Chains A and B, each alone.
Chain A
Amino acid sequence: MIPVGRRVGEEACQDCLVGFGVEKIRQDFPALQGKVHGKPLVYLDNAATSQKPQAVIDSIARYYQSENSNVHRGVHFLSELATQAYENARSRVRQLLNAAHDREIVFTRGTTEGINLVAGSYGRSRVKAGDEILISAMEHHSNIVPWQMLCEEKGAVLRVIPMNDAGELLLDEYERLLSERTRLVAVVYVSNALGTVNPVKQMIALAHRRGVPVLLDGAQAAPHLPVDVQDLDCDFFALSGHKLFGPTGIGILYGKADLLEAMPPYQGGGDMISAVTFEKTLYNVLPYKFEAGTPHISGAIGLAAAIEYVERIGLNRIAAYETELLAYGTELLSAIPGLRIIGTAKEKAGVLSFVLEGVHAHDIGTILDHEGIAIRAGHHCAMPVMKRFGLPATARASLAFYNTREELHRLAKGIHRVSEVFA
């Protein structure tokens, strides 16, 4: 990724990918201009949530200032505007994921709700006693607990694909675990705790060979990689708007139309019906069948603005820039005495999880915070991952396309400061 003749150095080489223009991009994010404890903010907690560009903030304000109305109801002008903006947002998401139809895009509160929707609707109607759900050893709690709840209710069994010490799934074991009892594979595309990019296309093909559908937890994938659900051939794909530079409280569940058609509703209420009597209710068509109640209209509009913003930069360029940044950060951190990076898979995106000998992650987090550096310290909602590596917690720096090499240098300096305090 590094252009020939440019050397990796501490000086002004913040943007080695010619033309990426990270300094200009940073100007679009008001939160990045702030100071913390008197120092310019270094925001490296993007896997928890990303900062929002001005365009997203403006789009939400504009909606409430001049378009605010409910959707799919009114005959009046504003309702028409709001409905149009909301449905345009759906089309935006469809394009981002390269789904075949708008009706395959269901608005949710986030990845967690998307997974719960599939567990509650697809799972509850298809899974029986003795059936198996297959997840992986590196799942976020949101892709463990809904399946545990389903298994408990149905007497089904949760199986777990193991991983190696680098944080890579063992595909041989995966193949062995796929059986005639497997009803669904639910696996993370990019691990939030380790950064591993799983070979999901291959895994989906293996599952489909046995007629097993696959759900992808795409929360950490969507902000870092171009996603093509038709090329991957996944059956479900869940993502969160707030990790994709959009607002909190909005997310997406993509599902193949034939699967969604056959699934019962997840919640009942307004908007998800076409006719109601006290004797019987006729459900609405896709995707509205899964969108009960007034949706998060401003959230959908903000998400659309975020997608427009990201697409203007280009996800391919983002992925290339971040790959280089991650390699650079890995090199910097690896050189720090006593530091061990957790998650060393060959294919990684966006995450530098690490431990420092003799220092708890929480203390690292507090000291870095005082240097103006925001990271996450803890189990990252992936306690089984921590257990797998025999750690109570890790410190995690997670990247976005607006981060720079200079910021990674400040991170490295901050970690040196931690070592000094604990020397």
Chain B
Amino acid sequence: MSDLNELYQQVILDHYKRPRNFHKLPDANRTAAGNNPLCGDEITVYLHLDGEVIQDISFEGAGCAISKASASMMTAALKGKTRAEAKLLFDKFHKMVTGNREGPSDPIGLGKLEVFCGVSEFPVRVKCASLAWHTLNAALDARNETVSTE
């Protein structure tokens, strides 16, 4: 049972029930949509990018606890970060949830986002945790197609 508690940590459940930055962004200059066709998760990420800096970020959508909490915590983590910092975090996050860390001594440096560490024990849930990040990536790159993690 321990790894189940690892997956559904209180922080994750809290962000699922009370998602932060969960609204449209009126002055967004970048948006991207993503979905998981298999489970029906849908998300839209809104960005207000000022030069290289993420001035504001929000999201809307419906999904499971993991995907919604991941989106919520992502938006909380990225406000004020530069595009390069966001990309670096995405890379680290992806490595963590897919279980591709160099080793237990490898510092993740993801701060609060490390609560998603348990996801790597649940291969079918990796796409739930990473949907928001893939969608963010598309918004940063100003790609217009809908992102799919299938």
A–B Cβ pairs within 8 angstroms, 11 of them:
A360-B64, A362-B66, A363-B65, A366-B7, A367-B4, A379-B38, A393-B39, A421-B4, A421-B8, A422-B8, A422-B65
With A421-B13, A422-B13, A422-B65 already in contact, the answer to whether A362 and B39 are too (CB < 8 A) is yes
Number of residue pairs across A and B with beta carbons under 8 Å? 50
Task: Return the CB mask of B37-81 against A: 1 if under 8 Å, else 0.
Answer: 011111000000000000000000011111000000000000000
Asked whether any CB of chain A lies closer than 8 Å to the CB of B125, the reply is yes
Asked whether any CB of chain B lies closer than 8 Å to the CB of A392, the reply is yes
User: On chain B, which size bracket covers the interface?
Assistant: 20 to 34
Asked whether any CB of chain B lies closer than 8 Å to the CB of A386, the reply is yes
- Which of A367, A378, A386 is the one whose CB lies under 8 Å from B38? A378
Interface residues of B in 114-150 (CB under 8 A from A): 122, 124-125, 128
In whole angstroms, what is the CA distance A386 to B39 when docked?
11
| Complex contact B4–A378 (CB within 8 A) | no
Chain A CB within 10 Å, residue with most, of B42, B64, B125:
B64
| Complex contact B64–A386 (CB within 8 A) | no
| Complex contact A386–B40 (CB within 8 A) | yes
- Which of A362, A370, A379 is the one whose CB lies under 8 Å from B64? A362
With A366-B122, A370-B1, A421-B8 already in contact, the answer to whether A377 and B65 are too (CB < 8 A) is no
* A contact set with B: CB distance below 8 Å: 358-363, 366-367, 370, 377-379, 383, 386, 392-393, 421-422
| Complex contact B42–A392 (CB within 8 A) | yes
In whole angstroms, what is the CA distance A377 to B36 when docked?
13
In whole angstroms, what is the CA distance A383 to B17 when docked?
26
| Complex contact A360–B42 (CB within 8 A) | no
Residues from chain A with Cβ under 8 Å of B39 in the complex: 360-362, 377-379, 392-393
| Complex contact A392–B40 (CB within 8 A) | yes
| Complex contact B62–A392 (CB within 8 A) | yes
Residues from chain A with Cβ under 8 Å of B64 in the complex: 360-363
Residues from chain B with Cβ under 8 Å of A358 in the complex: 17
- Which of B7, B40, B42 is the one whose CB lies under 8 Å from A379? B40
| Complex contact B41–A392 (CB within 8 A) | yes
Residues from chain B with Cβ under 8 Å of A377 in the complex: 39
In whole angstroms, what is the CA distance A37 to B65 when docked?
22
In whole angstroms, what is the CA distance A366 to B66 when docked?
11
In whole angstroms, what is the CA distance A242 to B9 when docked?
38
In whole angstroms, what is the CA distance A422 to B90 when docked?
27
Known pairs A359-B65, A363-B65, A422-B8. 20 more at Cβ < 8 A? Answer: A358-B17, A360-B39, A360-B63, A362-B39, A362-B128, A363-B64, A366-B4, A366-B125, A370-B1, A378-B39, A378-B40, A379-B38, A383-B40, A392-B40, A392-B42, A392-B62, A392-B63, A393-B40, A422-B13, A422-B65
In whole angstroms, what is the CA distance A366 to B1 when docked?
12
